[in-house]
């Protein structure tokens, strides 16, 4: 296989002042991309200042790229607002004239059980992860549509795919990103724009406090960035895939639906569901669907014997 390169391509990466975003930025830059390093420089909870806050983070990463012979600019716009996301896209176009890759990586954590969580903390996490990714995607789409080429990478999490105690806000946002991908892939495909999602496992400042952090010593951000670089490349020819990546492990994750059971019109009742639950819940023969239309066709197809 030919080496994956990004010569002549421009990548916008949110939350790229450290951790996963920094690894994505450095790898794409090392392979030829001009990179827009977006980061507010806030703390992990997004409140600014405090532990982990560093307003110069984006500049340091951009400078690291430039010193290595690459092209990069720093950007501090707040992607959680439509106006901030648009300013980020405008800055990329003003600096480099095009946008080929968007990696929606920015995120914050405000962990607490739902019963104890302040509504503002739930909304803030959803705003950065989910709405920020939507606004940035929306902002770069016109440029990608005009050039009939683009790669958008969302960032989900095992907490969204499978759940995690104390992370209802984060989990809801992260699974919402899969839904965003699934619709955007259909809207963008006619313009040569592919949309995929990475589900990373990496030891960063956002994960260092997790109970399993001690087991994650080999889960460096760089090992996730390899998967993101592929999804962002010309060699990627598919859309709507969730790629789990961490510590050298790569796998795809898919939402599937079982074969199920069809009830006759005069049989439909709560008792029918209860009586046939074992077959309803049987994963044998489970299949994935490319769209809601295909799922409905599967559900309303001919009755199974």
Per-residue pLDDT for the chain (305 aa), expressed as one digit of tens each? 799 999 999 999 999 999 999 999 999 999 999 999 999 986 665 665 433 456 799 999 999 999 999 999 999 999 999 999 999 999 999 999 999 999 999 999 999 999 999 999 999 999 999 999 999 999 999 999 999 999 999 999 999 999 999 999 999 999 999 999 999 999 999 999 999 999 998 755 555 555 555 455 667 899 999 999 999 999 999 999 999 999 889 999 999 999 999 999 999 999 999 999 999 999 999 999 999 998 888 777 654 44
Catalytic pick from 149, 162, 170, 249? Answer: 170
β partners of residue 34: 10, 71
Same domain assignment for residues 170 and 221: yes
CB 51 within 8 A of CB 44: yes
Domain residue limits at 285 = 256-299
CB 22 within 8 A of CB 34: no
What is the number of domains present in the chain? 2
The reply to whether 2 falls in a domain is no
Per the annotation, the verdict on 170 as an active-site residue is: yes
Q: Rounded to 5 degrees, what are φ and ψ at 220?
A: -80, 155
Same domain assignment for residues 127 and 87: yes
Q: Which among 12, 28, 23, 22 is positioned nearest to 233, based on CA atoms? A: 28
Same domain assignment for residues 291 and 143: no
Residue 84 sits in a domain of what CATH number? Answer: 3.40.50.720
């Amino acid at each position: 296989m030919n080496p994956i390169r990004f010569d002549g391509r421009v990548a916008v990466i949110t939350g790229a002042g450290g951790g996963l975003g920094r690894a994505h930025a450095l790898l794409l830059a090392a392979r030829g991309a001009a990179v827009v390093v977006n980061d507010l420089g806030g703390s992990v909870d997004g409140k600014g200042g405090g532990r982990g806050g560093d307003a110069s983070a984006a500049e340091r990463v951009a400078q690291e790229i430039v010193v290595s012979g690459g092209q990069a600019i720093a950007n501090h716009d707040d992607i959680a607002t439509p106006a901030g996301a648009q300013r980020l896209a405008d800055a990329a176009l003003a600096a480099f004239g095009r946008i080929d890759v968007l990696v929606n990586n920015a995120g914050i954590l405000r962990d607490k059980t739902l019963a104890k969580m302040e509504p503002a903390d739930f909304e803030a996490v959803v705003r950065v992860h989910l709405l920020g990714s939507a606004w940035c995607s929306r902002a770069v789409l016109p440029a990608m549509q005009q050039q009939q080429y683009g790669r958008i990478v969302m960032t989900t999490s095992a907490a969204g795919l499978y759940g995690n105690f104390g992370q209802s806000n984060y989990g809801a946002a992260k699974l919402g990103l899969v839904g965003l991908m699934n619709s955007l892939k259909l809207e963008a495909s006619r313009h040569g724009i592919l949309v995929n999602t990475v589900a990373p496992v990496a030891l960063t400042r956002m994960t260092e406090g997790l109970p399993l952090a001690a087991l994650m010593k080999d889960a460096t951000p760089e090992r996730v960035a390899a998967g993101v670089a592929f999804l962002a490349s010309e060699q990627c020819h598919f859309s709507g895939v969730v790629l789990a990546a961490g510590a050298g492990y790569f796998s795809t994750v898919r939402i599937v639906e079982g074969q199920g059971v069809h009830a006759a019109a005069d049989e439909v009742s709560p008792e029918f569901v209860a009586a046939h639950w074992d077959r309803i819940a049987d994963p044998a023969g489970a299949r994935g669907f490319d769209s809601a239309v295909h799922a409905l066709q599967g559900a309303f197809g001919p009755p199974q014997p």
